[in-house]
Structure formats: structure tokens, C-alpha cells
Amino acid sequence: MEEAELCFPQLLNTSCRKPKPPQSGTLLLYLLLFFISVLTATLNLLVIISISHFSCRQLHSPTNLLLLSLAVSDFFVGLLVIPIEVLMAVTCWVLGDLMCALYFFLPVTLISASVGSMVLISMDRYVAICDPLHYPSRVTSKVVIISVCLCWICSVIYSVVLLYHHLKQPGRYNSCYGECLVGVAGDLDLAVAFVIPISIIVILYLRVFVVAAAQARAMRSHVTAVKLQLSVTLTKKSELKAARTLGVLVAVFLLCYSPYYCLSLSGSDILYGSPTEALMSFLMYFNSCLNPVIYELPDVL
């Protein structure tokens, strides 16, 4: 009976114990995570299909190319990352220490690309609202494609830097066979993946808010017919909705990511694969489910 509870019964002294079968409450939680996984993949797949295959010219704008990058990263979070994370919580890791280190390149790269895409979308909306006359010449499809490629390349490089030591010494944090833990520098991850992106997004949003408020005051004051006409042009309905969407994006981003990165404020390194990290990660992954809903809100409201 004691050997049957081990991940590797032949390794009596070094094998981890198998996770206990989920109870009713835990089982409901796993079913909820599975539903979120399916919903995340489905919603983002709809966005990908809409942008990639429909012939409508509007869907091929530079902004929607950025949305496509965001949807691709979030799609793979729902399709691969969340299901694998659930399996890691209920089963033993049987692929070895090297594959354990290699696996975490996937979520780190996808989450980094998702956050980077949100930053690019914020920049795009900033230029569209604050400098609309130069937007068509500055934000072209070529510029956006290059930006998206750089975003994904930087995400891969960041993953390599963050997890490089684990490739040199796989399994350094594992206490037994059948476990998959990877430690990262909490301060580096906090700065690069949270503080810097959210600072850029918030600063751009505040600038957009100031410009929108100034345009609204100009419309109310009716200073001159020329100023009124320009203000009406700059405050088109679609752009005002984009500004509102950006505000919702900031709020949701903070709600989903803050609990995870609060772990870094303790000063200790984060252990990927630990129960605490897994719980906070699922909340962070939930942002990938909300992103397509957020960007559809302006068309609904």
C-alpha cells in the first residue's frame, strides 16, 4: 500500500508520493478550471478566425493585428497551459527534470507575449486618440508587424534569461522524483513582467484621459467653429470607446496579476509548480479569458 502511493514505486527513498484523489470541493474547482480553459481557447479562437479569415477590410487594420497577437498568446494559454497546470496538480511529473525546466518556457513566453501585446495595444490607442492626424502614417501594418515580431522575440529571450540556470542544473528545487518545481528571481520577474508594463499602460491611459477630458471641455465651451469641428473629429465614438476599453484593461490587468506578484514583494524567489504559485497563476491565466471579452465590449455597449 505504501509503495502504491509513490510516483515511482521502484525508488522507495527518493520518490514523491502521489497526490491524493480530489475531494468533492476540489473536484468542482478542477472542473471550473477546465471550463475556463475551454472558454479561454474558444473565445480567443473566435477572435483569431475573425481577424485572419474574414475579408472585411476593417478587420485587417493595424489595431486588429495587435489584437491577433494577443489572441494567439491567450489561445495557447487556454489550450495548453491551464490544462497542463491542472494535470500537474493532480498527477506526478513523469517527464524528468530537464522537461520540467523546458516546460516552463511555454507559460513564461506566452504570458510575456500577452502582456507585451497589451502594451502595444495601449500605445496604438494612445497615438490614435492623442495624435489622430499622424496615426495613419506612423502606425502602419509594417510597423505593427515588426513590433509584434519583436514582442514575441523579446518574450522568448526573457524566458531564456529567467530560466537559464534551470537548464544548466535541472531539478535543483525538486525534493523528490515526480515533482516539478522551478525557481525564478522574483524581483526580476516583478519588474519586467508587471511593474514596467503596467506603468506604461497607466501612463498612456492617463494621457488619453487628459486629452479626452480637454476635448470634452472644448465641445462644451464652443470656443470657435473651427475648434468645435476639430474636437468633434478627434472625439469620434470609436475612439472614446477605445479609451474606455483601455481603462477596463488596466483594472482587469491589476486584479488578475497583482495577487501573483504580491508573492514577489516578500523578497523570496517564486517556485513555479508550488501550490501557492499555482493558485495565483490560475488567477493570472484567467486574464487571458477576459481579454477577448474586454476588447469586444466597445462593440456591445
CA quadruple 154, 261, 242, 221: dihedral sign? negative
Please, what sign has the CA dihedral across residues 82, 83, 88, 89? positive
> Mean pLDDT, consecutive 10-residue segments, the chain of 301 residues?
68 81 77 92 91 64 88 95 88 87 91 93 87 89 94 95 83 85 77 89 84 68 49 51 68 85 66 70 90 65 38
CA distance linking residue 144 with residue 64, whole number of Å: 10
Whole-number pLDDT of residue 17? 87
| pLDDT of the residue at 1 | 40
Give this prediction's pTM. 0.85
Under DSSP, is residue 150 helix (H, G, I), strand (E, B) or coil?
A: helix
Q: What contacts 24+ positions apart, CB below 8 Å, involve 205-212? A: 205/122, 205/243, 205/246, 205/247, 205/250, 207/126, 207/130, 208/125, 208/126, 208/129, 208/130, 208/243, 208/246, 209/243, 209/247, 211/129, 211/130, 212/129, 212/240, 212/243
d(CA 299, CA 241): 8
In the prediction, which pLDDT does 267 show? 57
pLDDT at 226: 46
Here the cell at position 212 is: 479626452
pLDDT at 193: 86
Give the domain ranges of the chain: 24-300
Torsion of CA 150, 157, 256, 42, to 10 degrees: 70
Domain 24-300 = CATH 3.40.50.300: no
What pLDDT score was predicted for residue 300? 37
Cell of 135: 496615426
CA distance 223 to 221: 5
